[in-house]
Amino acid sequence: MPAIEIENVGVRYGAFVAVSDVTVLVPAGKMIALLGPNGSGKTTILKVLSGLIKPSEGSVRVLEGKISEARGKIAYVPQREEVYWDYPLTVWDLVAMGRVRAVGPFRWVDRKDPIVRMAVEVVGMAELSDRRISDLSGGQQQRAFLARAIAQGGEIYLLDEPIAGLDAAAEAKLFIVLDFLRTSGKTIVMSTHDISTTLELFDYVLLLRNKPIAFGSPKSVLTSTNLAKAYGTERVAMHLEDVKGVAGWA
């Protein structure tokens, strides 16, 4: 079953073309990385998939239907900087937010809601349930966001730069959760501007620079020619040697 079908999608803001000619088909239960430098259209694609912006051209189908019909099943995990972490919420409160839609208006999310508890446990934060979100580390904040998406009952997970600013250990913990979700049939789309070793964990990579440069398995996409097109030569050559060395492709 295709989870995401993007066909000839383009987004323009006035005369500025954020992204164009994107055609991608992602089956359910796969993990795909949107890779490219800043301003290359990664976030734009995530916003199209989440229904935040309408594409100027082309069509998008999610879970074999319109985005508006898949509302509750699309889980958007924003960049960490987008929210005010000093907001007085505990981890539990944040995760329970994922249940707001399902519980419906004029009712509270139960303090013992089993789905919230499950979500908190899946991301390994059961002991931190009662901690204020401002006291979390970056990696914990990211996992709490992910738990909220899980509590929401997401089928499609859209993550905007989740590993930016995380150290290797925090990154590894995040990927354990993502891998678990993938194994349970969820589809994960994640944007990143880092050409890092974690890319080998993905099923697909879509390399972008305002239009697709390459799409396919990480190994087939991450060639020096492709990366040079996306990033400009010098920086890439340096990065690529590292990536190949650590990933064992050299």
Partner 1 sequence: MIEILQGPLQYEFMRLALVTAIVVGVTCSVLSSFIVLKGWSLLGDAISHSVLPGIAVALTFGFPFFWGALFTAVASSALIGLVESKSRVRNDTAIGIVFTGAFALGLVIISKTRPAVDIFHVLFGNVLGVTFQDLLVTAISGSVILVAIGLGLKEIVAYTFDPTFSRVIGLPIRLIHYSLMVLLSLAIVAALQTAGIILVISLLVTPGATAQLFAKTIERTILVSLVVGIASVTVGLYLSYYLAVSSGGAIALVATVVFFAAFLCKGLKKRVGR
Nearer to partner 1, 157 or 231 (CB): 157
Our CB check for partner 1 shows the closer of 63 and 89 to be: 89
The amino acid at residue 90 is T
- Residue 241 token pair: 């040697």
Q: Minimum distance between the CB of residue 216 and partner 1, rounded to whole angstroms?
A: 28
Nearer to partner 1, 142 or 198 (CB): 142
End-to-end alpha carbon distance in the chain: 35
DSSP state of 196: -
Least CB distance to partner 1 at residue 218 (A): 28
CA distances from 181 to 15, 30, 31, 88, 211 (A): 39, 9, 9, 29, 29
Mutual orientation of helices 168-183 and 138-151 as an angle, nearest 10°? 10
Please tell me the distance from the alpha carbon of residue 155 to that of residue 73, in angstroms, as a whole number: 5
**What 8-state DSSP symbol labels residue 38?**
T
Question: In this complex, which beta carbon is closest to partner 1, that of residue 103 or of residue 164?
Answer: 103
- Residue 54 or 71: the one with the smaller Cβ distance to partner 1 is 71
Residues that bind partner 1 (CB under 8 A): 50-52, 71-72, 74-76, 78, 82-84, 86-90, 93-94, 97-98, 100-101, 103, 105-106, 108-109, 132, 148, 152
Question: Rounded to the nearest whole angstrom, what is the least distance from the CB of residue 189 to partner 1 in the complex?
Answer: 13
- The distance of closest approach from Cβ of residue 76 to partner 1 in the complex, given in angstroms and rounded to an integer, is 4
Nearer to partner 1 (CB atom), residue 71 or residue 219: 71
Nearest distance from residue 106's CB to partner 1, in Å?
Answer: 5
Min separation Cβ 204 and partner 1, Å: 23
